[in-house]
Structure 1
Amino acid sequence: MAQRTAKERLSGIVTAVQDEKFLARRLELAETALNTLGELGYARTSLREIAQNSEFTHGVFHYYFTDKLDLICCSVRQYKTRCVTRYDQVTAESKTRDELLEGFTQKLGETLRDEAPMHRLWYDLRAQALFEDGFRKDVVEIDQSLEDMVWRITVRYAELGGTTPTVQSAVMYALLDGLFQRALLKHLSNDRQAVPELLNQIKQLLPTVC
Structure 2
Amino acid sequence: MTDVVETKQDKIARRQVDKFQARRTQLATDALNTLAELGYARTSLRDIAQNSEFSLGVMHYYFADKRDLITQAVRQYEAVCVTRYDEVVARATSAEQLRDEFVEMFFDTLAEDAPLHRLWYDLRNQSLFDESFRADVLEIDGHREAMVGRVVSRYASLRGGELTGTPAVAYTLLDGIFHRALLHHLTGMTEAVARLRLELSKVMDYLVAGPQ
* Partner residue of 2:134 out of 133, 136, 144: 136
**1:50 equivalent in alignment to 2:48:** yes
- Structure 1: give runs of 5+ residues left out of the alignment: none
Aligned residues of 1:113 and 1:195 also touching (Cα < 8 A): no
Give a deviation string over 1:151-200, Cα, whole Å, max 9, x none. 10000000001111011111111000001100100100011124422321
- Structure 2: give runs of 5+ residues left out of the alignment: none
Using the alignment, how far apart are the partners of 2:120 and 2:206 within structure 1?
Answer: 28
Using the alignment, how far apart are the partners of 1:26 and 1:78 within structure 2?
Answer: 11
Give the counterpart letter for 1:38 in structure 2: A
Name the % identity.
51
Using the alignment, how far apart are the partners of 2:139 and 2:5 within structure 1?
Answer: 38
SS in 1 for 2:57: helix
Q: How do residues 24-35 of structure 1 correspond to structure 2 at under 5 angstroms?
A: 24-35=22-33
Q: Which residue of 1 aligns with 2:125?
A: 127
Q: Which residue of 2 aligns with 1:92?
A: 90
Using the alignment, how far apart are the partners of 2:162 and 2:142 within structure 1?
Answer: 21
Report the CA distance between 1:105 and its aligned residue. 1.0
Using the alignment, how far apart are the partners of 1:113 and 1:199 within structure 2?
Answer: 12
Distance 1:10 1:206, change over 3 A: same
Aligned residues of 1:154 and 1:206 also touching (Cα < 8 A): yes
Report the CA distance between 1:30 and its aligned residue. 0.2
Report the CA distance between 1:10 and its aligned residue. 1.5
Give the counterpart letter for 1:104 in structure 2: F
TM-score, normalised relative to structure 1? 0.95
SS in 1 for 2:53: coil
TM-score, normalised relative to structure 2? 0.94
